[in-house]
C-alpha cells in the first residue's frame, strides 16, 4: 500500500471523504461490492437520521421573536421575494423552449456555482429555463449578482425568492408548466454547520420538502433531478464509493441533511409518483466557484502571501479529494435530465410506479490536496507558505473516491478534465475577476452631450439605465444629470462591491444618488465620507428626498479611508486640499478599481502610491485625468506599476483597445 505524504485539508466542504489511508491499489475505479440487507441495521440507520433532524427542528428558539422571524446569520429566517410587476410574462417567455421537443426547466440555486453553469448550458442548447435563488449571504452576494448577470445575458429570467415560500412556488407552477426541475439550491459547507445548524435544516430539509410539495401538487408533475452529495458516504471505509455502499454514518450535519433528502425523495417517489434522480457530486471546482472551497481560498491566500494550513490525519494519513471540473458535472446533470422519465402522478395522486435513481458524479481519480497546492503554485508563479497541523474534528473526512460505472453505463457520463487543466481555467478566471491586470476603461465625453463614448459596450454591461427618474429631478442642469447617470452606469457596469466617495458641503448630490442606485443594482456597499455633522445633515436631507439610503462616515477623509479595505470604485472631490493624500492611503480591491475625480482640472497624468491587497506592497499605479468639460474626470486604476498619459489613453479608448 502506498503511504502518501501529509496534505492540505481546508477541504471543499461540499464533499467530505473517507477516513484512513489512501489505497489506490486495493480497488479499481469500477469495482463495487453488494452489501447484504440487514433489517436491524437499516432500522437503526433510519431512526438515527430522524433523531438528528428532530433534535435540530425542535431546538428551543432564542426568544419569542425567533419563532416568527428568521435570518441566515442567526438561528431563524426571513423569506424574501422580489418580483417584477410583469414577472409572469417574463417567466413564461424565459421558460419557452426553442422547439416543441425542448424542456421547460426550473433551476433552483440559479445564481449558485453549479446552478449558473447548468442554467446557461440548458439555455444555449434550446431549453426554456427559469431560475430561482434567494441570494443569501453565506458568502459574497456580489459574486452571486455577477453570476446572475451571466445568466441574464444568456436569456434566463431569475426570480429572487426562497424555496420555502410555498405561495411563490404555487404561483410559479401555476404560471409555468415545467417539464423538469433541476434542484441545486442548498445550504452548502461542512464547517458552517457548527456555527449555524438550523440553516441546513431550513434549506436542505424544509426547503426540499416545500419544493417537492409544489411538484407533487402540479397538474402536470415535472421530473426532478437534484443535487445530493458524496458527503452521504461519511465514514464509509470502502473505496471507491459506489451507489450500493452504506450511507448511514454521516460525519457532518450537512451530510445528514443530504442523506435525509435522499430518504425524503424516495418517499415522495413512492407515495406520489414523482420521477426523481439524485446526483452525488464529488468536490466540484472551476470558474465562478464558491469562495469557501479549498482551491478558491488557497488561491486567494497564496496571492496575498498568507499562510495556508496543512492538515493531516492520524499517523500522517493523507487527505485527498476526487476533484471534478464543473463542465463535467454539468454534462452529467444534462444527461440525467435527458434520461429522466415522466412522473406518473397528477395533482398529488399517484397513477403508477415512477423512476427513482441515484448516481455518483465524480472524476474517479482522487488527488492529494498537496498536489492541488503544487499545481496552484505553478499556475500562480508564487510559492505557498504552508503550516502542517492535525486535522480538527469539524465534519471533514480524509478523502473521497467516486465509482462512476453506473453513471457511465446509464447516463453516458464521462469526465474529461484533469485537475491541472481545470485549475488553469479557474486561475485565469480568478485573475480576471479579482486581480484584473487588463480591463476596459470608459472615456466619458463632454458633460453637455449626455452620451457614451463607447455606448454599445457600456449598455451591454449595464443593461437598461436604472434610476434616471430619480437622478434627473435632483439636478440643476442637464449636464449634471448626464454626468450622474454616466457615473452610475460605470459603477454598475464595473459590478462595484465597495463604492466610496468624499463629499463637501454644497457639493453635487446627483452623483451620490447615481452611486446609490448603482450599489442597489450590484448589491454592493456605498459609503460617503463627509467632514462634519453639518455636512452630514445637508447630505442626508438631500439624499433622503430620493428615497435612497447611504452609509455616511463623519470625519477626515484620510482617517476614514485607512479603515476601508477592498475599494473598487472611488469618487474623490478634487477641491479638497488632501486630495492626493486620500489617493495614497486608499486601499485597492484585488481586481483593480475605477477612479472618478470630481472638479478636476485638466492634466496629463499623475502617479501616486496605492497599496495593493494582492501583495500589500506600495507602488506607483496608473492614474489618468481626462479633461471633459465642466468637472468630471474618469480613469481606470489597475493594481500594477504604470504611468499612462491622458492623450495615449484617450486614443486607446477611441480605437476600442484595452490598456494594461
Element (H, E) at 570: strand 569-573
Both 407 and 467 in one domain: the answer is no
Pairing mode of beta strands 569-573, 307-312? unpaired
Residues 86 and 214 in one domain: yes
What's the domain range around 194?
39-59+71-287+327-365+401-419
If asked whether residues 279 and 415 sit together in one domain, one would say yes
- What CATH number is associated with residue 139? 3.40.50.720
The confidence score (pLDDT) of residue 44 equals: 57
Domain co-membership, 447 together with 407? no
Pair (130, 47) in one structural domain? yes
pTM: 0.61
> Is residue 12 domain-resident?
no
Are 165 and 263 in a shared domain?
Answer: yes
- Contact criterion met (CB below 8 Å) for 499 and 491: yes
User: Rounded to an integer, what distance in angstroms lies between the CA atom of residue 230 and that of residue 239?
Assistant: 12
pLDDT at 51: 57
Name every residue whose Cβ is closer than 8 Å to that of residue 145 and which is 6 or more positions away in sequence.
Answer: 111, 135, 495, 522, 523
**Pair (521, 586) in one structural domain:** yes
DSSP string, 546-564: TT---EEEES-HHHHHHT-
Who contacts 185 (Cβ-Cβ below 8 Å, separation ≥6)? 108, 109, 112, 115, 132, 133, 134, 163, 203, 207
Please state the domain count of the chain: 2
203 and 88 co-located in one domain: yes
10-residue mean pLDDT profile of the chain (660 residues): values are 38 36 35 45 57 51 37 45 83 96 98 98 97 93 91 95 96 97 94 89 97 96 97 89 92 94 98 98 97 93 86 79 97 98 91 96 93 93 86 74 97 97 94 58 29 32 30 39 67 80 77 82 85 87 78 86 82 64 70 63 36 38 32 40 32 29
**Catalytic pick from 254, 325, 359, 579?**
254
Return d(Cα 260, Cα 200) in angstroms, integer.
11
DSSP alpha helix (H) spans, 366-507: 369-380, 405-411, 419-430, 455-462, 468-471, 478-493
| The pLDDT of residue 395 | 59
pLDDT, position 648: 34
The predicted structure's pLDDT at residue 42: 56
CATH of residue 635: 3.40.50
Asked about 254 being catalytic, the answer comes back as yes
pLDDT confidence of residue 522: 75
The 3 state secondary structure assigned to 62-79 is: CCCHHHCCECCCCCCECC
Q: What is the three-class DSSP state of 632?
A: strand
Shared-domain flag, residues 356 and 458: no
Alpha-carbon distance of 190 to 192, in angstroms, equals: 6
Amino acid at each position: 500500500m502506498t503511504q502518501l505524504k501529509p496534505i492540505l485539508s481546508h477541504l471543499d466542504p461540499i464533499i467530505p471523504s473517507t477516513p484512513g489511508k489512501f489505497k489506490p491499489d486495493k480497488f479499481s475505479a469500477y469495482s463495487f461490492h453488494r452489501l447484504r440487507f440487514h433489517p436491524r441495521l437499516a432500522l437503526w440507520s433510519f431512526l438515527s437520521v430522524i433523531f438528528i433532524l428532530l433534535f435540530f427542528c425542535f431546538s428551543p428558539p432564542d426568544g419569542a421573536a425567533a419563532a416568527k422571524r428568521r435570518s441566515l446569520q442567526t438561528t431563524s429566517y426571513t423569506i424574501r421575494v422580489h418580483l417584477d410587476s410583469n414577472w409572469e410574462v417574463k417567466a413564461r417567455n424565459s421558460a419557452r423552449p426553442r422547439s416543441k421537443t425542448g424542456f421547460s426547466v426550473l433551476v433552483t440555486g440559479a445564481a449558485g456555482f453549479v446552478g449558473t453553469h447548468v442554467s446557461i448550458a440548458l439555455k444555449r442548447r434550446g431549453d426554456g429555463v427559469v431560475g430561482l435563488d434567494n441570494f443569501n449571504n453565506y458568502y459574497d452576494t456580489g459574486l452571486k449578482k455577477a453570476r446572475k448577470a451571466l445568466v441574464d445575458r444568456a436569456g434566463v429570467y431569475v426570480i429572487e425568492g426562497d424555496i420555502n415560500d410555498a405561495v411563490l412556488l404555487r404561483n410559479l407552477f401555476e404560471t409555468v408548466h415545467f417539464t423538469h426541475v433541476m434542484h441545486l439550491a442548498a445550504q452548502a459547507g461542512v464547517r458552517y454547520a457548527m456555527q449555524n445548524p438550523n440553516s441546513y435544516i431550513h434549506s436542505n430539509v424544509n426547503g426540499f420538502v416545500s419544493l417537492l410539495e409544489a411538484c407533487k401538487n402540479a397538474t402536470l408533475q415535472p421530473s426532478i433531478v437534484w443535487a445530493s452529495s458524496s458527503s452521504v458516504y461519511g465514514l464509509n471505509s470502502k473505496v471507491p464509493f459506489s451507489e450500493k455502499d452504506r450511507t448511514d454514518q454521516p460525519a457532518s450535519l450537512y451530510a445528514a441533511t443530504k442523506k435525509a433528502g435522499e430518504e425524503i425523495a424516495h418517499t415522495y417517489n413512492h407515495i406520489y409518483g414523482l420521477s426523481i434522480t439524485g446526483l452525488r457530486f464529488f468536490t466540484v471546482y472551476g470558474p465562478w466557484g464558491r469562495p469557501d472551497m479549498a482551491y478558491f481560498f488557497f488561491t486567494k491566500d497564496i496571492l496575498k502571501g498568507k499562510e495556508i494550513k496543512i492538515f493531516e490525519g492520524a499517523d500522517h494519513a493523507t487527505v485527498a479529494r476526487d476533484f471534478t471540473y464543473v463542465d463535467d458535472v454539468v454534462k452529467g446533470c444534462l444527461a440525467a435530465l435527458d434520461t429522466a422519465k415522466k412522473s406518473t402522478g397528477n395533482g398529488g395522486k399517484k397513477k403508477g410506479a415512477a423512476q427513482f435513481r441515484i448516481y455518483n458524479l465524480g472524476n474517479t481519480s482522487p488527488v492529494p490536496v498537496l498536489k492541488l497546492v503544487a499545481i496552484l503554485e505553478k499556475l500562480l508563479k508564487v510559492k505557498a507558505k504552508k503550516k502542517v497541523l492535525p486535522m480538527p474534528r469539524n465534519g471533514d473526512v480524509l478523502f473521497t473516491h467516486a465509482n462512476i460505472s453506473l453513471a457511465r453505463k446509464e447516463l453516458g457520463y464521462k469526465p474529461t478534465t484533469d485537475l491541472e487543466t481545470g485549475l488553469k481555467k479557474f486561475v485565469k478566471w480568478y485573475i480576471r475577476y479579482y486581480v484584473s491586470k487588463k480591463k476596459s476603461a470608459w472615456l466619458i465625453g463632454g458633460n453637455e452631450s449626455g452620451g457614451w463614448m463607447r455606448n454599445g459596450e457600456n449598455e451591454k454591461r449595464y443593461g437598461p439605465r436604472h434610476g434616471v427618474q430619480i437622478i434627473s429631478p435632483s439636478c440643476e442642469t442637464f449636464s449634471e444629470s448626464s454626468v450622474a447617470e454616466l457615473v452610475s452606469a460605470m459603477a454598475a457596469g464595473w459590478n462595484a462591491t465597495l463604492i466610496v466617495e468624499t463629499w463637501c458641503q454644497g457639493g453635487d448630490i446627483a452623483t451620490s444618488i447615481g452611486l446609490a442606485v448603482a450599489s442597489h443594482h450590484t448589491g454592493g456597499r456605498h459609503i460617503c465620507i463627509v467632514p462634519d455633522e453639518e455636512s452630514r445633515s445637508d447630505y442626508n436631507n438631500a439624499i433622503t428626498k430620493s428615497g435612497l439610503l447611504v452609509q455616511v462616515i463623519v470625519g477626515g477623509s484620510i482617517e476614514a479611508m485607512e479603515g476601508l479595505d477592498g475599494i473598487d470604485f472611488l469618487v474623490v472631490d478634487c477641491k479638497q486640499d488632501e486630495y492626493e493624500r486620500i489617493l495614497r492611503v486608499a486601499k485597492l480591491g484585488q481586481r483593480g478599481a475605477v477612479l472618478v475625480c470630481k472638479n478636476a482640472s485638466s492634466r496629463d497624468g499623475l502617479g501616486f502610491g496605492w497599496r495593493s491587497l494582492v501583495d500589500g506592497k506600495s507602488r506607483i499605479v496608473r492614474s489618468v485625468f481626462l479633461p471633459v468639460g465642466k468637472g468630471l474626470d474618469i480613469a481606470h486604476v489597475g493594481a500594477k506599476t504604470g504611468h499612462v498619459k491622458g492623450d495615449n489613453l484617450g486614443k486607446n479608448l477611441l480605437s476600442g483597445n484595452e490598456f494594461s
